[in-house]
């Protein structure tokens, strides 16, 4: 099954680096190279998908011819197990092909976003996907309409249906939430209208909201943007931090009522669809289809709330380390260690990451090497290449990894992260049949983040330089703060506004600012000056338009921390569990059971508590080093 890409934001450096095609090393340059200047060994092999555009077109035509055959099974799935199996197999044959068609076009487009040919091909693939989804839309409602006893009998009579057993079981568990075909059709048609709030938000945030200019550290006037915001918040110049903070949030504040109405509309439509499908709450409606109990979400929030003291300590430490009389929200991202920059060339990063991932075992490293030698990765930035990083698993081929490697430690960490996704897809596809190879976001972020944690732990153990160690400790603490604490605060906000909406309240700008302000006061503690400007921050978070999504970053990081600890302390036993009971399981079971069988039980507070204990340990280490001066 084709995995949708996992995206990681890419922080653009003010200094651009290009590659020397002769040496493949990063060299300082103000010119971004053309794609033809990048050495072939640093480019992915999209020809592994299709040798030519003509081959792509052949498969495209094949799908178009297969689609009418799907309709021949409409209204007939309950007649026999053979019909059901034939229809599911035909659907899979079609989606295996479309799972190659779209990535081929899209990844070529990402190589050069100005390439009109692949823009057109991507659009063509997207349109085909819509045709496919329309053609197969009848399948799941018909399956749900089959009496449970009859469906069970079909599976016993037709052995080939065994591979679909978890899929069919999952569908039947949703039976009480599936309405009549006419009702489902009406709700489906309403989907485009329901998407309007998210569409409006995207237009507002990306096209209408205008950000001011500020002066950077050198006194040069620079235009603020969302992409530059995080860099300026990390500036060692407090004036720059505050100006960026005021500029970005002040700009959103000018649209506070419109943005409140937009988010209110989105939450209301989510509540409407949840109630229409007979869920107890919108939270349950978002979590249940992926087999995540509501208790897992609530347990995360409750556990973090019981452990806010270490975060308050961190705020206090940062205030002291930065020499501030008062610490404000715009100081939160400022590094406590200045003038430290870890530069790592790509070849050095490959060796570093492989050494760091040694706890995963020799087979994992061998497969990592196979990915490198088989050209899974597109490494360097080139003119027209889209920003960011992602991995994309394609069933029956291999994963692909998209980077814009720029020679920073964060780039090495991104390499580890994306190869974590890639090898998760590789092992799932290798070990699972197509219907159970795909995995959900809840587990996806665990595999990638485990690699990140192993890398930074390895770096901390390896470095003898005090300032470098302080820099890494600060980075590690920031990772946990922004991923566990911050995303859980977002999750708590999201649950609160949904609860209020379900109780009949209108989510006004005043109400949401009050909720968000109070959460910041609670999370960051008594020493933090919670500036009024932060109250509008909810208005710039796009993930609030993806229902109950952000908590998975926090649970994924917690599960990854627990796995990393086991891999570092238990050796081969942990390797075996992690590889065979997690990476190779794909989507063959519920994510909670997969993780539990691999050694991490996310239905309990333990993984979260392990992560919070790690935060406290790192904080202790940094306090000692800072005290030494």
pLDDT tens digits for range 116-147: 999 999 999 999 999 999 899 899 989 999 99
Which of the two residues, 29 and 612, has the higher pLDDT score? 612
CB 602 within 8 A of CB 566: no
**Mean pLDDT of the region 99-116:** 95
- Write out the DSSP string of 35-47: GGGS-GGGS--GG
Tell me, what's the pLDDT at 39?
96
CB 132 within 8 A of CB 66: no
d(CA 457, CA 566): 13
CB 201 within 8 A of CB 207: no
Kindly give the residue spans of alpha helices, DSSP state H, lying in 571-605: 572-578, 591-598
The secondary structure of 338-358, three-state, reads CCCCCECCHHHHHHHHHHHCH
Tell me, what's the pLDDT at 423?
98
Q: How sure is the predictor about 114, in pLDDT bands with cuts at 50, 70 and 90?
A: confident
The secondary structure of 493-545, three-state, reads HHHHHHHHHHCCCCCCHHHHHHHHHHHHHHHHCCCEECCHHHHHHHHHCHHHH
N residues, the chain: 629
pLDDT tens digits for range 60-73: 999 999 999 999 99
Instruction: Give how far Cα 524 sits from Cα of 230, 302, 449, 485, 582, Å.
Output: 19, 16, 25, 10, 35
Q: Which residues are designated catalytic?
A: 418
**Mean pLDDT of the region 364-381:** 97
pLDDT tens digits for range 308-326: 999 999 999 999 999 999 9
pLDDT of residue 257 exceeding 50, the answer is yes
The separation between CA 39 and the C-alpha centre of its own chain, rounded to angstroms, equals 30
Tell me, what's the pLDDT at 188?
76
Residue 308 is classified by DSSP as -
399 phi-psi bin (left φ>0, alpha ψ -120 to 50, beta other): beta
pLDDT of residue 32 exceeding 80, the answer is yes
Terminal Cα distance for the chain, rounded: 54
Tell me, what's the pLDDT at 19?
26
**Mean pLDDT of the region 509-515:** 98
Instruction: Give how far Cα 47 sits from Cα of 55, 372, 386, 400, 621, Å.
Output: 10, 16, 20, 12, 49
- The arrangement of secondary structure in 51-174, i.e. its CATH architecture, is Up-down Bundle (1.20)
Domain parsing of the chain, residue ranges:
51-174
d(CA 140, CA 143): 5
CB 14 within 8 A of CB 217: no
CA 565, 568, 571: angle at the middle one, nearest 5? 120
* Mean pLDDT computed over every residue of the chain: 92
């Amino acid at each position: 099954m084709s995995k949708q890409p996992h995206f990681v934001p890419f922080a653009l450096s003010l200094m651009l680096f290009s590659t020397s095609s002769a040496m493949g090393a990063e060299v300082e340059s103000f010119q971004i190279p053309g794609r033809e200047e990048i050495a072939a060994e640093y480019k992915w092999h999209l020809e592994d998908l299709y040798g030519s555009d003509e081959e792509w077109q052949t498969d495209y035509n094949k799908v178009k011819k297969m689609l009418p055959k799907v309709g021949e099974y409409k209204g007939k799935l309950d007649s026999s197990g053979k019909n059901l199996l034939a229809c599911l197999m035909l659907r899979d044959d079609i989606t295996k092909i479309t799972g190659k068609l779209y990535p081929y076009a899209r990844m070529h487009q990402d190589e050069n976003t100005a390439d009109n040919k692949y823009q057109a091909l991507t659009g063509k693939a997207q349109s085909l996907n819509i045709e496919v989804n329309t053609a197969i839309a009848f399948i799941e409602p018909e399956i749900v309409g089959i009496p449970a006893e009859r469906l069970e009998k079909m599976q016993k009579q037709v052995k080939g249906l065994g591979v679909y057993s978890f899929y069919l079981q999952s569908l039947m568990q949703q039976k009480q939430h599936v309405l009549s075909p006419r009702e489902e059709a009406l709700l489906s048609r309403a989907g485009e209208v329901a998407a309007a709030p998210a569409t409006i938000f995207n237009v507002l945030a990306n096209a209408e909201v205008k950000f001011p200019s500020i002066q950077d550290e050198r006194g040069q006037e620079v235009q603020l943007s969302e992409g530059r915001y995080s860099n300026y918040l990390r500036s060692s110049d407090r004036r720059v931090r505050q100006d960026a903070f005021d500029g970005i949030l002040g700009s959103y504040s000018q649209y506070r009522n419109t943005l409140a109405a937009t988010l209110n509309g989105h939450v209301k439509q989510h509540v409407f669809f949840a109630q229409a499908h007979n869920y107890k709450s919108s939270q349950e409606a978002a979590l249940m289809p992926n087999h995540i109990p509501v208790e897992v979400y609530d347990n995360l929030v409750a556990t973090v709330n019981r452990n806010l003291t270490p975060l308050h300590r961190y705020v206090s430490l940062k205030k002291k380390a930065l020499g501030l009389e008062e610490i404000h929200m715009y100081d939160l991202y400022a590094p406590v260690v200045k003038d430290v920059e870890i530069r790592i060339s790509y070849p050095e990063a490959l060796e570093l990451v492989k050494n760091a991932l040694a706890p995963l075992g020799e087979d994992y490293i061998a497969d990592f090497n196979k990915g490198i030698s088989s050209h899974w990765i597109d490494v360097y930035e080139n003119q027209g290449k889209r920003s960011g990083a992602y991995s994309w698993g394609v069933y029956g081929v291999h994963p692909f990894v998209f980077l814009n490697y720029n020679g920073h430690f964060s780039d090495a960490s991104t390499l580890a992260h994306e190869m974590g996704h890639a090898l998760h897809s590789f092992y799932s596809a290798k070990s699972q049949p197509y219907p159970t190879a795909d995995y959900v976001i809840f587990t996806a972020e665990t595999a990638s983040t485990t690699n990140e944690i192993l890398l930074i732990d390895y770096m901390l153990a390896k470095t003898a330089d005090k300032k470098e160690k302080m820099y890494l400790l600060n980075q590690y603490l920031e990772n946990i703060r922004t991923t566990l604490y911050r995303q859980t605060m977002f999750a708590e906000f999201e649950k609160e506004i949904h609860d209020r909406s379900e109780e009949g309240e209108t989510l006004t700008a005043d109400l949401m600012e009050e909720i968000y302000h109070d959460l910041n006061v609670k999370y960051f503690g008594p020493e933090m000056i919670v500036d009024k400007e932060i109250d509008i921050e909810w208005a710039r978070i796009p993930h609030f338009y993806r229902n109950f999504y952000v908590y998975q970053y926090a649970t994924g990081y917690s599960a990854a921390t627990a796995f990393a600890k086991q891999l570092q302390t238990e050796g081969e036993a942990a390797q075996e569990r992690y590889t065979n009971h997690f990476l190779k399981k794909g989507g063959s079971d519920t994510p909670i059971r997969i993780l539990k069988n691999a050694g991490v039980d996310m239905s309990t507070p333990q993984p979260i508590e392990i992560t919070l204990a790690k935060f406290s340990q790192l904080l202790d280490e940094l306090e000692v080093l800072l005290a030494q001066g």
